[in-house]
Amino acid sequence: MALRNILKLGDPNLRQKCYEVTIFNEKLGTMLDDLIDTMFAADGVGLAAPQVGIPKRICVVCVDEKTIYELVNPVIVKTAGSQKGQEGCLSIPGEHGIVERPKTVWVEAMDRYGKPCKYKVSDLTAVAFCHEIDHLDGKLFIDKIISND
Ligand code: NI
C-alpha cells in the first residue's frame, strides 16, 4: 500500500483533460489500490487520478465504506432526475457549496483488467460518480456551485 500526495487547487494537473487508459497491467492495479488507500486515509468518498498527479481516466468511489467502485475510462451514458446537495473535494480543503447533479446516472466503464462494466447509481453515489468523472476533464465542483448555503 502506498499513499499518494493529494494535489490542491491551483495545481495545473487538476485542470487537465485526462487520457484514456489503453494498457491494463499490474501498474494500473497498483495505481487503483493506491487511489483507494489514499481516499480512505483522507476520509474521502471518491478520488480521481489527476488529484494525485496522474493524467489518466481513472477514479474510485466509496460512499458507504463497503462498496468500492473502480472506474477506468468511465462515461456517463444516461442521466435521470436531479438533486441538489453540498459537495466538497479533497483537493479544495475547507470549501463547500451546493451543486446540482442528476439523481441517477448510468455509467459504462472498465475494471482494472479491461473488462467492460455497467453501473446504474443514484443519490450520493451518483453525486460522487459525477464529481469524480468531472475531475477527468479538469472540472471542479467550485465551477458548478449554485449557492453556499
Ligand atoms: Ni474532488
Domain that holds residue 133: 12-147
Question: Is the residue at 117 inside a domain?
Answer: yes
Quote the ligand 1 centre to 90 CA distance (angstroms). 6
What's the gap between Cα 101 and its chain centre? 14
Question: Is the residue at 89 inside a domain?
Answer: yes
Instruction: Point out the residues that are catalytic.
Output: 132
Residue 143, classified by CB atoms within 10 Å of its CB into exposed (0-12), middle (13-18) or buried (19+), is exposed
Question: Is the residue at 59 inside a domain?
Answer: yes
Question: Is the residue at 1 inside a domain?
Answer: no
| Distance, CA of 99 to CA of 143 (rounded, Å) | 9
Quote the ligand 1 centre to 31 CA distance (angstroms). 17
- Given a cut of 80, is residue 88 above it in pLDDT? yes
- Given a cut of 90, is residue 1 above it in pLDDT? no
Question: Is the residue at 24 inside a domain?
Answer: yes
Question: Which band of pLDDT confidence, cut at 50, 70 and 90, is reported for residue 16?
Answer: very high
| Distance, CA of 99 to CA of 110 (rounded, Å) | 27
pLDDT of amino acid 67 = 96
For 64-82, what is the mean pLDDT? 97
Question: Is the residue at 127 inside a domain?
Answer: yes
For 33-38, what is the mean pLDDT? 98
Q: Number of folded domains in the chain?
A: 1
**pTM of the full structure:** 0.97
As residues whose CB is below 5 A from the ion ligand 1, the structure lists 89
Quote the ligand 1 centre to 139 CA distance (angstroms). 9
List the one residue out of 27, 40, 59 whose CA is nearest residue 129. Answer: 59
pLDDT of amino acid 65 = 85
Quote the ligand 1 centre to 23 CA distance (angstroms). 25
Which of 25-29, 62-66, 73-77, 88-92 shows the lowest per-residue confidence on average (mean pLDDT)?
62-66
Question: Is the residue at 70 inside a domain?
Answer: yes
CATH number at residue 76: 3.90.45.10
Question: Is the residue at 87 inside a domain?
Answer: yes
For 112-145, how does the pLDDT look when each residue is reduced to its tens digit (9 = 90+)?
A: 999 999 999 999 999 999 999 999 999 999 999 9
Place of cell 489527476: 50
